Amino acid sequence: MAVSSTSPRSSAGPPARGPAPPTRPDRPHVTELRLSAFARHRGAGFPLAPLTLFAGPSGCGKSSALRAYEALARLGSGADLAEAFPDPGACVPERARPDAQRRRGFRIGCTADGPEGPVLLDVAVQAEPDLRIVGERLTSGGLVLLETALRDPGRPTVQAAWHTAGASPVTRAPLPDDRLGTALLPLRVAGKTDGQRRVLAAAEQMVVALRSVFACDPVPELMRGPVRAGSGRLRPDCANLADVLWRTRAECGRRHAQLVAALHAGCAGPVADLLAAPLPDGSLHALLDRGDGVRTAVARLGDGELRYAALALVLLTGPGVLALDPVGEVPAALQTLTVLVDGFDRGLDPRQRAELLRLAARMCRRGHIRCVGVVSDASWATGVAGAAVVDLDP
């Protein structure tokens, strides 16, 4: 590799400047998923690029990694443990042995980067015999900002200590053992000292990064039937596609045109438009306009075409059209939507999966959206700029 050099500056010239400090992203987002002990994962850490594909054979832990990310997102949104982990026993490593009190559990965490720099969250969950958080740690710049621990198994609380840096270095108080303490801090910390304000800033960065997550897995069988007009917000199974099109075709003309272009590239036959039309009973069904006077009901499309259409819509739309609850107190310009897709390539033919990946890469490069998908084989993704592959092949 050639190394260029320049002549040294004259001593009479201006002093040389040191390297500029690294810029910090304006939009909080998750950059690493840690599975210390979760399902089949032990001591695992996965860096997350704007577009990341988990790849590997069946049973290697691709879907469980996505499940852990989704659970963290739910906890960050204020959900309780039972909602975040509906089957906690499946999250416990298979060979994990119970302790003397017959307790078993799992540990997960993540890193969120943003204006405050990297902020680390690690959570220890007891799954058996009772589901509860037994430990949590929030760290920034090597400083522990929040730490919780289970002190009295007979009480539904954990003892929490958060950084204060005032007259008292830490503040201690009980927190419920079924919710993420980091998500509760904005309600408990006054923000009167520099230390408290640092805690609040780090907690809010983590919460913003986790809350703007939409996990979807389109189900073609549910997308074929007519639907009643509703909120116009896309559900994770995309069954209400026609209801969403009824709204977005009129509200988002530019993005709808991009969706039609994506369908033209990935569906069989010409596609001039995708629209929703009312039926005599008042319900809605979706149609492909072929541009020659023929309209094809989406019910006639193949599974791959339906999944392709739904995922393209998700990538091209925004939080206001998806059934999620982003942080209302933070402007949309300072949030990043993260799309989680289990079975990114399921049912797609080679052309469709390549077009969908290129669309995802293009949208992720703009900075307002990130995507984490699961595929069985990522060899076809080689060469697509912006796509990072995490190979879990044992």
Considering the domain architecture, whether residues 239 and 181 belong to the same structural domain is answered as no
Is pLDDT larger for residue 33 or for residue 97?
33
Q: Give the pLDDT band (50/70/90) at residue 252.
A: confident
Same domain, residue pair 237 and 161? no
Residue pair 238/293 in contact (Cβ under 8 Å)? The answer is no
Whether residue 6 has pLDDT greater than 50: no
Both 184 and 247 in one domain: the answer is no
pLDDT above 70: percentage of residues in the chain: 91
Per-residue pLDDT tens digits for 64-85: 999 999 999 999 999 999 999 9
* pLDDT average, residue stretch 28-53: 96
Rounded CA gap, 210 and 4, in Å? 43
Tell me, what's the pLDDT at 33? 98
Strands 157-163 and 170-176: antiparallel
Residue range of the domain that includes 308: 221-323
Domain boundary at 185, 212, 239, which? 212
Shared-domain flag, residues 205 and 225: no
Statement to judge: residues 111 and 34 lie in one domain: yes
Residue 363 belongs to some domain of the structure: no
pLDDT at 366 over 90: no
Q: Is residue 93 part of a domain?
A: yes
In 10 A of CB 282, how many CB atoms?
Answer: 9
257 and 292 within one domain: yes
What mean pLDDT do residues 121-147 have?
A: 96
Does the pLDDT value for residue 7 go beyond 50? no
- Are 259 and 281 members of one domain? yes
Of the ranges 122-126, 338-342, 366-370, which one carries the lowest mean pLDDT score? 366-370
Task: Give domain status of residue 303, yes or no.
Answer: yes
- Please report the pLDDT score of residue 12 as a whole number: 47
Q: Is residue 19 part of a domain?
A: no
Looking at per-residue confidence, does 300 or 190 come out higher?
Answer: 300
Q: Give domain status of residue 340, yes or no.
A: no
Looking at 163, 189, 212, the residue that finishes a domain is 212
- Domain count for the chain: 2
Last residue of a domain, one of 192, 212, 232: 212
Same domain, 164 and 250: no
pLDDT at position 209 is 94
Q: Which of 163-167, 217-221, 223-227, 276-280 has the lowest mean pLDDT?
A: 163-167
Q: How confident is the model at residue 101 (pLDDT cuts 50, 70, 90)?
A: confident
Read off the pLDDT of each residue in 372-393 and give the average, rounded to a whole number: 91
Convert the pLDDT of each residue in 307-325 to its tens digit: 999 999 999 987 677 766 6
CA–CA gap between residue 147 and residue 144 (Å, rounded):
7
Over residues 151-204, the pLDDT tens digits come to 999 999 999 999 987 777 889 999 999 999 999 998 888 888 899 999 999 999
Q: Residue 260 domain-assigned?
A: yes
What is the average pLDDT score of the chain? Answer: 89
Give the pLDDT of residue 21.
56
Q: What is residue 9's predicted lDDT score, i.e. its pLDDT?
A: 40
Residue 145 pLDDT: 96
Within 13 Å, how many C-alpha atoms sit on residue 176's CB side? 13
* pLDDT of 363 strictly over 50: yes
Residue 3 included in any domain:
no
Residue 88 or 366, more confident: 88
Quick one: 142 and 235 in the same domain?
Answer: no
Residues 65 and 187 in one domain: yes
Q: What is the pLDDT of residue 362?
A: 93
pLDDT higher than 80, residue 329: no
Give a yes or no: residue 12 inside a domain: no
Q: Are 182 and 250 members of one domain?
A: no
Q: List Cβ neighbours of 214 (8 Å cut-off, separation of 6 or more).
A: 236, 314, 319, 322, 323, 324, 337, 338, 339, 340
State the Cα–Cα distance between residues 311 and 259, nearest whole angstrom.
10
The pLDDT of residue 372 is above 50: yes
- CA distances (Å), 246 to each of 249, 275, 292, 323, 346, in order? 6, 7, 22, 16, 26
Task: Kindly state whether residues 33 and 162 are assigned to the same domain.
Answer: yes
CA 303 to chain centre: 25
pLDDT band at residue 19 under the 50/70/90 scheme: low
